[in-house]
Amino acid sequence: MGNLSTVGHLTWLHLLQSVLPVVLGTLISIPIARFAAGRRARGAGGRRGAGRVRRGVVVNAAALLYTVPSLALFVLLPLILGTSITSLTNVIVALTLYVVAMMVRSCVDAFESVSPEVLDAGTAMGYRPLRAFFGIELPLSVPVMAAGLRVALVSNISMVSVGAVIGIQSLGTLFTDGLRRDLMAEIVVGILATVVLALVLDRLVTWSAAALTRWQVRA
Amino acid sequence: MPETAATAIEFAGVTKRYESAVAVEDLDLAIPAGLITTFVGPSGCGKTTSLRMINRMVEATEGTILIQGEDNRDRPAHELRRSMGYVMQQAGLMPHRTVADNIATVPRLKGASRADGRARALELMDTVGLDRKLAKRYPAQLSGGQAQRVGVARALAADSPILLMDEPFSAVDPVVRTDLQNELVRLHEQLERTIVFVTHDIDEAVALGHRIAVFGEGGRIAQFGTPEEILRAPADDFVASFVGRDRGLRRLTFASGQELPMHPLEGGTASGLERPWAPWELLLDDAARPAGWRFGEREVTGGTLFTPGGSLREALDAVLSSPSGWGVAVDDAGRAAGLIASDDVMAAAGRERRSRYGVGE
């Protein structure tokens, strides 16, 4: 049964291609979103003209990125990066871009969900900006950020499969291979493995977020 | 009322100008050390802006603010802020930190260890009357009154002689608010901090303030003085209208009711009449405390009580709220001590008025 080890190997590759871009994309999105959300403490006088424009430009640019077809990006990126089409780097960079496209919006919403009074209280207590960001703003934006992260993660898991079309190994390979050899069982295994992967990772994110937000009152 | 000692905070020619409007104009004000000074005025009068300029949450456009003689711009803003307590509306607690961690915020920012911060937090919970069992709760699990006490404890943790309070009790219900006000007066007597308290409620300003700064439109001070001075002699029509229609009544808060003639419960002597409150009859419980009034077969709940050292306002209220029209005075133990006649209260108010204006009896 070499099949099982093949599925295991493909699952590992799939996991790598879906998780790594989500982590990288989120880390890139946080500073971009924080810049777009602007200063929000009370006394900052609300969002003035310049701040609103900045937010609009950043959020819409991110959304625009998402409209580039994934297959086109897989083919185009090697021309820019100088990698081969089937390299893992290629896929990871492409998918990271998609995660950024989704997470920038989520992170902007997340930062905007933090009460300005609480940020104001932080300033009044004598927090300096950097410590206020890591000690107050970031932890309080976890609930909204986690919701965005779940969507990005699950949609990324399905997007990884597309890479198989151009020969990048993942659970998607089971679809292309099964289709070519007319093996229904192989396709079904591919679908099941992908769904299980998505469910497990989604639960993991939900649990971690819950652990980080015990302060929220649950009914 | 404690005597005026030194100046704790001094505004010298302070102006705050925004692009389109002036929030505070050329403010000169000396806030006495060790007293509660209230900033009161309608919304948009610059009282909160003035408060926030003290710890540089808002930077003044012109002028200087001296904190114990030192320009508040001489230190980095975050250090200045850690050196004063700040209590805000809605408490402004960190929702993701426990009660103890919230209270320990400033000590921790100053570098105290986790254990020291926690020990200090527990002490302060006792000081503000919070059950230590609440230490591990999150703010969302507290009532409004509890959250506000945590806010006060957090401000006290700064261990500074100055406490800034920005409409701290405006979001809690009236009963809890009265509790918190009494608590603040008690804390002040115990800790002797300089407190600057912003409120839009003149009653709160009068109840708490040793000094009141009445802010008028456009961020200027319409009057600065003791509550009594402001109620007795409003500087202008604006102050008169702001202190309100009840100010005649409020003024009686500052007139002692100690000289009021006390009519003995048995009747006779003072009035020369046999029980002038008849046919009403005062009921007493086993401990000789007032327990309402009887009129023939009917028993009616009594009114408010006049306590030893009470003001004329308290005496007048005791008279007005009593079913018989006679106010009930009690001693320190709550036992009925005598009755007060409405004519005597009015006469005392008249004497107080004549002496205030220096007109002879």
Model confidence at A46: pLDDT above 50: no
Model confidence at A118: pLDDT above 50: yes
- Termini Cα distance of chain A: 49
Residues of B with CB below 8 A from A128's CB? 78
Average pLDDT for chain A = 87
Which phi and psi (to 5°) does residue B97 adopt?
-115, 145
- Termini Cα distance of chain B: 28
Provide the whole-model pTM.
Answer: 0.78
Residues of B with CB below 8 A from A115's CB? 95
Interface probe for B, chosen from A125, A134, A218 (most Cβ of B below 10 Å), is A125
Note whether A125 contacts B93, CB cutoff 8 Å: no
* Cα Rg of chain A, angstroms: 20
String of DSSP letters for A99-149:
HHHHHHHHHHHHHHTS-HHHHHHHHHHT--HHHHIIIIIHHHHHHHHHHHH
Which phi and psi (to 5°) does residue A218 adopt?
-105, 140
Give me the interface pTM, i.e. the ipTM.
0.81
**Which residue of chain A has the CA closest to B52?**
A124
Dihedral sign from CA coordinates of A128, A130, A136, A140: positive
Q: What is the spatial distance between Cα A42 and Cα B48, in angstroms, rounded to a whole number?
A: 12
**Which residue of chain A has the CA closest to B80?**
A126
- Mean pLDDT per block of 10 residues along chain B (361 residues) reads 70 90 90 95 89 94 93 94 90 91 94 93 92 93 91 90 92 85 90 93 90 89 91 88 78 83 73 72 88 88 86 90 90 89 89 78 52
**Closest partner residue to B109 among A126, A213, A217, by Cβ?**
A126
Structure tokens at A95: 């998918």
Model confidence at A201: pLDDT above 80: yes
Q: What is the spatial distance between Cα B130 and Cα B136, in angstroms, rounded to a whole number?
A: 12
Q: Which residues 78-107 on chain A approach chain B with CB closer than 8 angstroms?
A: none
Can you point out the beta strands (E) in B182-284?
194-199, 211-216, 220-225, 280-284
Q: Give the number of beta-carbon pairs within 8 Å between A and B.
A: 67
Q: What is the pLDDT of residue B52?
A: 94
Q: Which residue has tokens 């937000």?
A: A213
* Residues B82 and A126: beta-carbon distance below 8 Å: yes
CA distance B49 to chain A (A): 9
Q: Residues near A118 by Cβ (< 8 Å), separated by ≥ 6?
A: A136, A140, B92, B93, B94, B95
Model confidence at A1: pLDDT above 50: no
Flag whether residue A31 sits within 8 Å of chain B, measured between CB atoms: no
Using alpha carbons, list the distances in angstroms from residue B319 to B132, B303, B312.
Answer: 43, 8, 10
Q: What is the pLDDT of residue A135?
A: 94
Q: Which residues 125-144 on chain A approach chain B with CB closer than 8 angstroms?
A: 125-128, 131, 136, 139-140
Q: What is the spatial distance between Cα B54 and Cα B320, in angstroms, rounded to a whole number?
A: 44
* Cα Rg of chain B, angstroms: 24
Is the bond preceding residue B139 a cis peptide, omega within 30 degrees? no
Flag whether residue A216 sits within 8 Å of chain B, measured between CB atoms: yes
Q: Kindly give the interhelix angle for A2-37 and A138-160, rounded to the nearest 10 degrees.
A: 140
Residues of B with CB below 8 A from A219's CB? none
**Which residue of chain B has the CA closest to A43?**
B58
Query: How many C-beta neighbours within 10 Å does residue B50 have?
Result: 27
**Which residue ranges form the domains of chain B, and what is each CATH number?**
7-84+160-253 (3.40.50.300), 255-361 (3.10.580)
Strand partners, B85: B163
Q: List the one residue out of A135, A47, A153, A156 whose CA is nearest residue A91.
A: A156
Lowest mean pLDDT among A31-45, A91-105, A163-177, B78-92: A31-45
* Overall average pLDDT of the A53-66 stretch: 86
Strand partners, A196: none
Helix (H, G, I), strand (E, B) or coil at B226: coil
Model confidence at A19: pLDDT above 60: yes
Q: Which residue has tokens 């070499």?
A: A2
Helix (H, G, I), strand (E, B) or coil at B213: strand
Find the DSSP H helices in chain A: 2-37, 49-66, 70-81, 88-112, 116-125, 129-132, 138-160, 172-181, 184-212
Burial profile B230-265: b = 16 or more Cβ within 10 angstroms, e = fewer: bbbebbeebbbebbeeebeebbbbbbebeebeebeb
| Structure letter (DSSP) for residue B311 | B
Q: What is the pLDDT of residue A40?
A: 62
CA distance B170 to chain A (A): 15
Structure tokens at B162: 């100055």
Query: How many C-beta neighbours within 10 Å does residue B54 have?
Result: 23
Q: What is the spatial distance between Cα B206 and Cα B186, in angstroms, rounded to a whole number?
A: 16
| Structure letter (DSSP) for residue B196 | E
CA distance B65 to chain A (A): 17
